[in-house]
Structure formats: C-alpha cells, structure tokens
Structure 1
Amino acid sequence: MNDLRIIRLDPSAASFDADVARWHEVHVASSLPERPDSSPWRIAEVRDYVGTPVPFRWCVGWLALCGDDAVGAALLEAPLVTNLEVANVFVDVLPSARRGGVGTALLDVVEGEARRRGRTIAMAEVSFGLELPEDGAGSPDVHFARTRGYDVALGDVQRRLELPVDPVLLDRLAAEAAPHHAAYRIEVVRGALPDTLAPGYAALASTLAVEAPAGDLLLEAEDPSTQGWRDREAAYARQGLTLWHALALSPAGEVVAHSTIAVSAHDPSLCHQWGTLVRADHRGHRLGLAVKVALHRALQADGAPAPQVATWNATVNDHMVAINDRLGFHKVGRSVELQKRL
C-alpha cells in the first residue's frame, strides 16, 4: 500500500479518544467475531493501557491508515518491574487489507520501539480454530509470525463454560473435595482485597508465570509486592473490571491457593477466568477444585454475571484441564504463544 501511514496514539492529542475507537474497531474486526473463540479486548481496557501511565508497565499503540481508512492496529507493552527483557507485541490487520504489507510495516515499528527500549525478547499470541493442530500449522497468522522469526513456545486451548453452573454439580464437587482440605479455610472476595489478604495473594499470584506450565517461554515471576498489586487493582477498576477472588488459607492463615474471575461492566456476554494456582507445598488437598467451586458459587449467588466464562489452559496443564472438564468447560479454540530474540 503506497499511501500507508502509521500514526502513534497520543494521549495528549484532541483526537486520542477517536483514534482509540478506530484502533478498537480494527481490533474487533480482525478478531473474526464469527468465530466461537473470539474474545477481543474491550475499548475501556485499550484506552487505559495506552492512555494511563502506571508503575508496572509502559504501553504505546499505533494505527495504520490507508488514506483516511484505518486498516491496522498495533500495541507494545513493556513490563517495568520484572521481565525487563520482554516486550509483548500485538498486531492486527483488517482481513480486507491483509497481504498488502500492513502487518509487516506495523511489526517493524513495534519491534523497533522494543529494541529502543532495550528489550531483547518479543512475545506474541495468535489464536485460531480447533480444526487446526496444536502448533497452528495452516493458520496464516502463525505463518506470518514464523516468517518474521517467531517460534512457537507454548500451545493453549480456550474453553468456555455456560453460566450458571448447575448448583447440584457444584455441591457434589465441593463435598468430594472437602475431606481433603478440612484444615483450610476458603474465603471469597468481590472487588478489592482487604489488607489482611492482599500481601499473601500478591506473593502467590506473582508466581503464576513460572509455576504454571510455560513451555519454552522465557519468563520470570512478576512483582510480588502489595503495592504492585494495588496498582493493578486500580487499573482494573478504571477499565470497568470487577474481580472475584476465591482464596484458600492454611491453618497458619497464609494464602496458599487462589482463583480469580474478571467481570466487565462493558461486556455482558462474557467474563474471564484468570489464574488458578495452589502453592507447591500445599498441593494434594484438592484446593484447586475447592477454590474454583467456591468462586462459582459466590459469583452466581445473585445471578450469573454473563452467559459464559472463558478460560485458557496450556495444552500440557493436565491437572487444571481435568478440573475444568469436571466443571463442564468445553473447547472453543486454540492459540499459540510465540517468542523471538530481537
């Protein structure tokens, strides 16, 4: 495209909100909404990522224009506390504008900025349908990434669960798990965690990247500090997200297991299951099942917040997949996490 222009989203510009809206339109359209696994970001999340400086990440976005038409969108996220070698890159191109050099031009800009910020590892994610194999062979997006030097580091499967979950099933699973964790206490919190629980949660949740199966991804644990978690909570609140946490407390009162679901004020169709983790020295007590069951019970006590909840599991995470299968999750799509040495 000879008339292709790439502009940077500028939070100080009068056009910022309009540019973010155009960015989001490209993102949604390129996410193939007709696919059952489509799960694009909400516009409030994009606006906050790009427009609000935070202590734990640096983020910038770009919009690709052909004439006056937006045809591509890109974003770069650089962690600022841990994983200081990593840059997370996102590139979307309208289906009608593909194979015209838009993706290549955007990726050149994003990777160039990552290098200028001293990042040596670029990470990306590509989703595709269940009809393709685990490594994404046959996906044009995976093919594009691989021709640009990205290697598949981990395969994931997206699963969804219809809400509300049958209370009889939840009761049966809770009763099955209960004898194994009689000495533990399960608590569910909606919204901000109290000061008594936030430090333990932050310390445990920070290890998810290294405790969960990560394939060949070159990741470190995240910031374990309470203030770091409070900064993230504030960002989620700005984005219209309400978090529900189920926590397992040891006999000594330590947070040793957790599960989290995010509910968006801007999307009544889908909520997202985030991390579930049991500390290594407390495994074997069915705590993973216990916190997930407790979370769903609390979440739907006053009515399910959405028709479905989505979750992503590494294909090699047999234990968590087994729990999700028992709750009734079913496969809807695949993705691969890719990385490249810059």
Structure 2
Amino acid sequence: MSKGNINYKYLRRRKNWFQRNWKALIIYIILILAVLGAGAFVCIRFTPLGSKLGITQGNESKENKASPGADNNAQGDGSNKNNGEQQTKEVTWIDLKEPEQQKEVSYTVPAGVAYPYHIKVNRAANCVTVYGIDESGSYSIPVKAFAASCGRAGEETITGENYKTSDMYVWRLMVDNTYGHYAYRISGGYLFHSVPYLKAANNTLETEEYNKLGTFASLGCVRMCVRDVLWLYENCPQGTTVDIYDDAANPGPLGKPESIKIPLDSPNAGWDPTDPDETNPWHKESATLSGVQDITVKVGDTVDFLKGVTAKDTCGNDITDKIAVSGRYTTDAAGEYTMKYQVTDAIGSIATAEMKLIVTK
C-alpha cells in the first residue's frame, strides 16, 4: 500500500478517542467479563451439568466421596442424610405368637337323644375317640380323645363293631386281684377302667402300670386315667355303642393325647394325678417355670430367651422343651419389650411368666 493511500487524519482521530476513553473502556470490559463469569458459575452449580462435573451444593461432593454408600440408591428409609449423618437402619420386628391350646370341641347334646355318644377304640394306636351325634343322626362329630392301654401281646383286646356298654362299677375286682376304678363293661370280660389299684382305695395306684398308659399293657381291658374313664362313666349311658378297630397310622381325628409320668420315688406315687378326689395330693402341685428374668442386650445383639430357663410338669418331670415364648420385639432399636413364657403339661396344667427384654444402644 502506498503512502498516499493512508488517511492520517482518520488515524489521528481514532488515537485521540482511545486516549480519551481507555479507562471507561476497561471498566466496561471488566463488567462484561464479571457478568459472564457469574452466569457460568450459576449454570455449572445448579444444573445437571454441575452434577456431571462433580460440583454440587455446599460440601455434598466431599461428603459423597467420604461416604460412598450415601447416594441416591441408598436402601432402608431411602433418605440421604446431609451434614455427616449416617443412613437410618431399617428396623425388623419379630412376632412370637402364643401357642394354640387344645380347645374343647363345642358340642351340645341334642334334646331327646338317648345315646349322645359313640365310642371308638383304636386298638393299634391305644387311643379312644368319642363322637357326638349330628343333626342327621350320624355320630360324625369328634368330641373327645383319650390315651389308653389295650391288651398286651397274648392278652389282646377284642375287635369288632356295635358292642353295647352295660355294667358299671365304681370299683371292680379284676382277674389278677387288682381293682379297676370306674369300670364300665364293653362286652364279656372286657371293660373300660382305670389303671389298676392294689386295693379299692385311691392311694394304692400301681404306679409302674400307670406310666405305661398309651402303650399295650392290659390283660385285654381298655385302661385309661381316672379323669378320662370317669368322663365315659358319667356321660355315656349304658347301651352306648363301642367299636374297636386297628389303625396304627392314624390314632383318630383329634390325635392321641400325651400321658404324664409319675416318678416312682414320689411321695404321691400311689395317686393318679388326674383323680378329682379332693384328698388327692397332686392337686397341690402344678406345672412350673424357673429362671425367667429380665434380659439386657445391645442393639444388634441376638437374644437367647431360653438360656437358664427350665420347666417342670405337675409330677416334677422336665418339660423345658415345651416352653413357648411370645411377644413382639426388635434388637434393631433401643427399647423395652414385654415377653411371655408359657408351658402346658400333659394333664393340662399351665404355667406362665413375664419378663422384659431391654435393648440398649
């Protein structure tokens, strides 16, 4: 470009303008840069772009680096605690239900029925089931079940259907010179009666024979404890039908009840524990629980409710394995929880006790 083409006058004017306004120009440039910088900061901090770049509000980014588990996928209550708080642990509650007690079957004898019951003896299972009559006249309602002792090998109890009960005796001399209490004839020389007594007296029970209840032990009759044979004696009139059959696999619709055992060295050994006689010394005894006391554990610990706890039945036999514990508790949180212990023995005596489970931090 030749020198003649340069507009020196224009250049001098531009130079004079910059000289006069350079300070203001610098201020404008600084303001523009400040506005742009602030906008960029807000955009990065409060938009998904900031999350992708690892920039979040406050100290959250640092907290997440320190606690990898405290993210949006946290389990439990689903809350992500800020300010260094730990995630809340989910509380699991444990419900221990009370054991179901064997309930008496609800049965009302229909009016005008001469024979309200039908007795079935399962010889093979040593179990007696009593059936009540339904609206159609059939004996289809199982009402009672009793453990029994039928004839031992060589002295088997008869089998058959439609035997009719007849003679009834408060005490009956047996063929081996023992006595049966509440004897009730089935057919011929076969009777329902108690476990044998040495005399016609309530305190002369043959204890060893009593402890065989539920097994084959008799000379052909059907032995039962006093409580059970007395029920037949009082509720099944003479002429009641009796069937005797074999089914070892199925004792009956109500199952086969347990029988309590009498320690041979017990001072009460001559008495049947189920005998309702008011002078029966067993009436002063009952099932018991021992060792039940409050337990203290820390959050997260396991609890052994049965440690140091024992139970005995009316006759003093150990039935610790029958103890049931019920109640609602958790060891995931501090608190106090009331728990109940219960045990029921073979003759229906029930013992209960309560304790507190104390869970501390």
Normalising to structure 1: TM-score of the pair? Answer: 0.22
Q: Counting strand residues as a fraction of each chain, which structure ranks higher?
A: 1
What is the TM-score normalised by the length of structure 2? 0.21
Higher normalized contact order (CA 8 Å, seq sep 6+, divided by chain length): 1
Higher helix share: 1
Q: Kindly name which structure, 1 or 2, has the bigger radius of gyration based on alpha carbons.
A: 2
